[in-house]
Amino acid sequence: MKKIEHDQLIELSKRLKYFRKKLGFSSYEKLANDIGISRSQYGKYEKGGNIKYTTLCRILNHFDITIQEFFNQKINIK
């Protein structure tokens, strides 16, 4: 995997974590269960694992945000 692809997946993972917490889910396990994704797989997404577009859309539908909102909103995560 190229560095730029890795960096983009890390940015995506930070956004997933940010929006999960914003929705009030303190841990990813409950969210994964609500969405119908295995908790181990969702955990990989929040650690920078590769994610299919359709899976991302499914998560964002649960977050009730558009793909544009997901990528355009400024987030402050270290």
> Is residue 20 domain-resident?
yes
- Assign residue 21 the CATH number of its domain: 1.10.260.40
- pLDDT at residue 77, rounded to an integer: 66
Mind listing the pLDDT tens digit for each residue in 17-30? 999 999 999 999 99
> Is residue 9 domain-resident?
yes
> Is residue 77 domain-resident?
no
How many domains in the chain?
Answer: 1
Residue with tokens 């299919």: 52
Mind listing the pLDDT tens digit for each residue in 29-61? 999 999 999 999 999 999 999 999 999 999 999
pTM to 2 decimals?
A: 0.90
Give Cβ neighbours of residue 37 (< 8 Å, ≥ 6 apart). Answer: 55, 58, 59
| Contact (Cβ atoms closer than 8 angstroms) between residue 57 and residue 67 | yes
> Is residue 52 domain-resident?
yes
> Is residue 61 domain-resident?
yes
Residue 30 belongs to what domain range?
3-70
